[in-house]
Structure 1
């Protein structure tokens, strides 16, 4: 009688355990060392569309050939070798099974994102002959994190870029200029600053209107982005004035880049639709450029570097426009000392 009561109690415990496994909102899978499925709970049935009686006794990879076998094998080997649970986040591997998201309208993704844990299981002899794989649906949490990251990224982008042109704004660009100056002081690798603005931009605004002027500014920024490298830094300094930091660029290569940019701008044709003026208006424009390659010790700070590039730009504006001027014939203190005398500027006519 006592044995019967114990057996009934044990059966109740087993039934309770199986009920928990079936009802829990977590995927529960048990596979042996040959990846033969031994347990497949209701979570897995619902999300895979495969009943436990259909998959139990079959190899997991035969039923789900899309699973990366080598990757899962490494994870299971890690758990069984160390005899410790192994956890994996959706950020490391977004899923084991390609399950659809069962809340696509709130989750904003069509696929389920999964965390999982692999737990080694020992038999009565203490030998590990099975592993428990637990699948957690973390789609909502993953989407929330992704949306937050996107929002933060957009916020950061808006805080450092000029809204009209999409180039860096003045505050961020000056921070980059300061960093480039500090980096040069450490590694002495050449770096050059370009300053340029649109010739007679006020006339463009007065003749065609400020919206047409904005269109010209946008076109200029598009050309700039195509002409520079990913390592270069372009920004809107203010109004129609722009700047570019050319990293690892000496005088010769920088002058070539400046001239290439100037010619690219000169070849642009902006067509602006102005109904009040009778339709399409064709606008052409040019730029003047000042170039200054960083050198020390004659430049005590990045502000002095900026000032010298601005002086070279001023020279271009005062000597015909649509031209490039390099600051200084050499890097001696005499030619760089603009506080005492007018800068010595290398003239390069086009």
Structure 2
């Protein structure tokens, strides 16, 4: 197992959980001696995704993607997204009998339904066919595993996530210049994040939103008392976490929510709905309050005070994430010959 190709329609400069997960996975696998190549929209001409312009859609042909993978001669192919590149890579793998794994990161059916009246059964049917063709489909939580199993997905395995504890950490000296208590929400300012459920709450102190997106102007107009700090990254983002008192996560559709781990790593208790993602993270860590009443959860989390990331985040690490991925690839390697050897044998046979 020395060469891995990851195909993803989500990649830098996007800032989201998919990109963060794949970036950390590449670093972890390379540290273990695996050569990793990312095939992404950065490799091709691209166009903005309708209603989601931060995402670029690659403009290329299936034959080009197939040729790129074949030229790389990987031992493994991992298809991370179900967009144009993912579809073309899957087609190439099936056509050439190259084994591959996939991962389920995003509830596209629900996100799409927020914008267009498309039945969930249609889009979940597409996703089921897409992922069931893989050797293994990696899912972020046990809750998502159970939901997808009920929808007919198979070959699923839970794939945990991690957090950079050097960057995201408690900091006692941070002053954001805001009235306390500070209730913080970090994420894309978009319909699927359900930010209005947070911003409409009657809470003491300050409601602070960190992030950017298409709903920014409307929400600023509708909730003038809230503070919108825009997109933050790196140390600046970590300081916004550390300067808050409670992290509020109003999303009902995220499959995990890496921001949950980042908040907990900075010592913040979390308030969220009891849905997939928060149920798995907060249920495992005890670092917050889950309730169908988000106001109740927010005040309950405030009453908790700061949490200890050293005790609450055990088991959530990028090393554990890479361990699971490596275990899956090792099992596949033991069952079948490597893709590169298959492709080489096919070329020799066709040349002879």
Instruction: Give the TM-score band, short-chain normalised.
Output: under 0.3
Between 1 and 2, higher relative CO (CA 8 Å, sep ≥ 6) is seen in 2
Instruction: Using structure 2 for the length normalisation, give the TM-score.
Output: 0.21
Higher Rg of the two aligned structures: 1
Query: If each structure's strand is expressed as a fraction of its own residues, which one has the higher value?
Result: 1
